[in-house]
Chains A and B, each alone.
Chain A
Amino acid sequence: MDEMSQLRGLLRLKAYERPPSGYHERFLKEFQRRQRAAWLRAPGLVLWWEAFLGLWPNFEVPRVAYATAALVAALAGAALWWNPPQQDRMATASPVTASDFSLMKPPVFIRESLPVSQPALPPAPSRHFVLQPLPAYHEAPLSF
Chain B
Amino acid sequence: MDDSTASDEELVARTQAGEVEAFDELVRRYSPRLYGLVYNMTSHHEDTDDLLQEIFAKAFRSIRGFRGRSRFHTWIHAIAVNMTLNFLKRRGRRGMMSLDDVDNGVQSDPEFLKAAASSDPLRQVALRELQKKLNEAMQKLSNEHRAVVTMFDIQGLPHAEIAQILGISEGTVRSRLHYAHRQLQNHLKEFMKGLEG
Contact = CB atoms under 8 A, between A and B. Distances in A.
Interface of A: 3-4, 6-8, 10-21, 23-24, 27-28, 30-32, 34-35, 38, 53-54, 57, 60
B160 interface: no
A27 B111 CA distance: 23
22 contacts: A4-B185, A10-B130, A10-B131, A10-B188, A12-B153, A13-B127, A14-B134, A16-B108, A17-B36, A17-B106, A17-B107, A18-B106, A18-B107, A18-B108, A19-B35, A24-B31, A27-B27, A27-B31, A27-B52, A28-B28, A28-B31, A53-B64
Contacts of B149: 11
A19 to B, nearest CB: 6
Contacts of A17: 36, 39-40, 106-109, 112
B45 A19 contact: yes
Contacts of A32: 24
Chain B interface size band reads 35 or more
A27 B112 CA distance: 23
Contact of B32 (A4, A11, A14, A24): A24
Contacts of B75: none
A10 B110 CA distance: 17
A19 B106 contact: yes
B28 A24 contact: yes
Contacts of A21: 107
Interface of B: 16, 18, 20, 24, 27-28, 31-32, 35-36, 39-40, 45, 48-49, 52-53, 56-57, 60, 64-65, 67, 106-109, 111-112, 127, 130-131, 134, 149, 153-156, 181, 184-185, 188-189, 192, 195-196
A16 B53 contact: no
A12 B154 contact: yes
Contacts of A57: 16, 64
A34 B57 contact: yes
Given A11-B154, A19-B35, A31 B56 contact: yes
Top 4 closest A-B pairs, CB basis? A16-B112, A11-B153, A16-B109, A14-B154
A33 B67 CA distance: 28
B108 A30 contact: no
A64 to B, nearest CB: 17
Given A3-B185, A53-B64, A13 B57 contact: no
A34 B65 contact: no
A50 to B, nearest CB: 9
A7 B185 contact: yes
A53 B184 CA distance: 48
A18 B154 contact: no
A23 B46 CA distance: 12
A20 B107 contact: yes
Contacts of B184: 7, 11
